[in-house]
Amino acid sequence: MDAALEKRQVQRAYELWAPAYDFIFDWIFAPGRAAALKHLDVNRQHSVLEVGIGTGLNLPLYPATCRLTGIDLSQEMLDKAVERVQTLVMPHVTLKVMDATSMDFADDEFDRAIATYTISAVPDPVAVLREMRRVVKPGGTIIILNHFRSERRVTGLFEDFVAPLCTRLGWKSNLAMTPLLERVGLTPELVKTVNMFNGWRLVKCVNGK
């Protein structure tokens, strides 16, 4: 699929999801979010980038004084995140509409970066992870929380089968974890299964440049 066409398809999908996103996704994926933020290990000195911040469901899990920058492709999602920032009174949060494959940030700008339920929902996950590596300092932490293609043969084949439908809904059901990480030069320090049926993986990496 043409990258520009897929990008527009993702934007349209999440514009449609935005009104009901919190209701559908909050409680189902909350355990994974909590685990991801725990392993991100943020304190008030850290500068943090969240890629695909969406409606800001992770915001209550950060320290209130955290220096956080959140980006998303969908303005409709970010509008809800802005409301959440105001409610939580988080003065050091910056929200920007931005394409994660080409970030408007300097090299080594952040101490930490996190992407929860995002990498399988972007048109070019390799480019996004390379950008995350670029903007995170050497030795900084990168957390990826995502559904990846199952290593079980039957489940993996089913995920391949439903992939065209899932792409129309805005995410990839059969994104393979190991080849992806190898292509961007990330070595997992921790891989942990989370959420219902252990269907999602929390991946913690140290950015070794």
CA-based nearest residue to 121, from 5, 1, 13: 13
Measured between alpha carbons, how far is 50 from 38 in angstroms, rounded to an integer? Answer: 14
Question: What end-to-end distance do the CA atoms of the chain give, in Å?
Answer: 32
Rounded to the nearest 10 degrees, what angle do helices 3-17 and 21-40 cross at?
A: 110
What pLDDT shows up at residue 16? 56
CATH number at residue 78: 3.40.50.150
Strand order, beta sheet including 47-51: 93-97, 67-72, 47-51, 110-116, 136-146, 200-206, 188-194
Mean pLDDT of 1-14: 52
What pLDDT shows up at residue 196? 77
**How many domains does one find in the chain?**
1
Mean pLDDT of 177-190: 96
Q: How many of the other CB atoms lie within 10 Å of CB of 176?
A: 15
Q: What is the value of pTM for the model shown?
A: 0.85
Q: Are 143 and 117 in contact (CB under 8 A)?
A: no
Domain of 171 in residue numbering reads as 3-206
For 36, phi and psi rounded to 5 degrees?
A: -65, -45
- Per-residue pLDDT tens digits for 81-129: 999 999 999 999 999 999 999 999 999 999 999 999 999 888 899 999 9
Query: What share of the chain in percent tops pLDDT 70?
Result: 80
- Per-residue pLDDT tens digits for 35-82: 999 999 998 889 999 999 999 999 999 998 889 999 998 888 899 999
Which helix (DSSP H) or strand (DSSP E) does residue 190 occupy?
strand 188-194
For 27, phi and psi rounded to 5 degrees?
A: -70, -30
Asked whether the CA dihedral 159, 162, 164, 168 is positive or negative, the reply is negative
